[in-house]
Amino acid sequence: MIKVYLQFHNSLNDFLPPEKRNIEFSYAFKQQRSIKDLIESVGIPHTEIDLIIINSVSVTFNYQVINGEHIKVYPADAGTGNLTRSSNFIHLQPEPIHPVKFILDVHLGKLARNLRMLGFDSLYQNTYKDAELAEISANENRILLSCDVKLLMRNNVIYGYFVRSRDPRQQLLEIISRFDLSNTLKPFSRCMQCNAEIHALDKQDIESQLLEDTRKYYNDFYQCSACSKIYWKGSHYRNMQQEIERIIADQR
């Protein structure tokens, strides 16, 4: 048997049972394995990890674990504390995506709509299979947002994040905070239905498609460049605008 001593820091403790959080604990296994495989066997996907320090030396995911080693693992978020992006450390997270792009698993439909409302490119279909999600994420450099730890452990997933909350509004706040998006919001620039960009259009071009009250009381209209859905600043828009203002206030 090979026995090592593990300690996970900050947000990585979300994946551990209470008795193993914020402490060093022993972990035994039979065959030698990479540190990536070892960490994921504990239940933490590689997409959450930025630094692995073994006996005071940072290592890559390919490092082969040796009996008796003391292993400290730090998250991809700001929870690394004083461990800055120094040349003394091997940081395992890829360079950030600009502009940020997402793809979301089948459990996160409301979050996808909310991200689109704020202007973020967010692919979502409730028919996507896990293999499709991972492949699209890898091929298009999209951050895979998921409630499925196993999905984020797929080898071809480079950018990913495990969504902690199960409340759609809290999920949105969580993503804005995790990826530091509060200064990049572009509300109502994307179609909430299909994710494509929307553009302004002349009322006369779509007047025949409008209900009588809409035609009577509104003059500014917008249309999705892909699915042709029409938008205007009615009561639904005002409700969303108020929600966006509350979201921005919560980030301060």
Task: Give CA angle at 23 (52, 164), nearest 5°.
Answer: 70
The residue ranges of DSSP E strands in 35-90, in sequence order, are 49-54, 57-58, 70-75
Q: Which of 80, 115, 132 is the last residue of a domain?
A: 80
160-162 and 143-146 beta bridge pairing: parallel
User: In terms of domains, do 113 and 47 share one?
Assistant: no
CA distance 188 to 203: 18
46-70 pLDDT, tens digit each? 999 999 999 889 999 999 999 999 9
User: In terms of domains, do 13 and 65 share one?
Assistant: yes
Cα distances (angstroms) measured from residue 42 to each of 23, 73, 213? 14, 12, 59
Using only the alpha carbons of the chain, give its radius of gyration: 22
CATH number at residue 61: 3.10.20.30
User: In terms of domains, do 158 and 110 share one?
Assistant: yes
Predicted local distance difference test score (pLDDT) of residue 196: 97
Is 234 contained in some domain? Answer: yes
Is 156 contained in some domain? Answer: yes
Is 157 contained in some domain? Answer: yes
Q: How many helices (DSSP H) and strands (DSSP E) are in the chain? A: 8, 12
Predicted local distance difference test score (pLDDT) of residue 231: 92
Is 241 contained in some domain? Answer: yes
Is 137 contained in some domain? Answer: yes
Q: Which of 119, 150, 178 is the last residue of a domain?
A: 178
Structure tokens at 234: 């009615």
Predicted local distance difference test score (pLDDT) of residue 206: 87
Q: Which residues span the domain enclosing 131?
A: 101-178
Residues in the chain where the model's pLDDT stays below 70: 78-87, 252
Structurally, the chain folds into a number of domains equal to 3
User: In terms of domains, do 164 and 225 share one?
Assistant: no
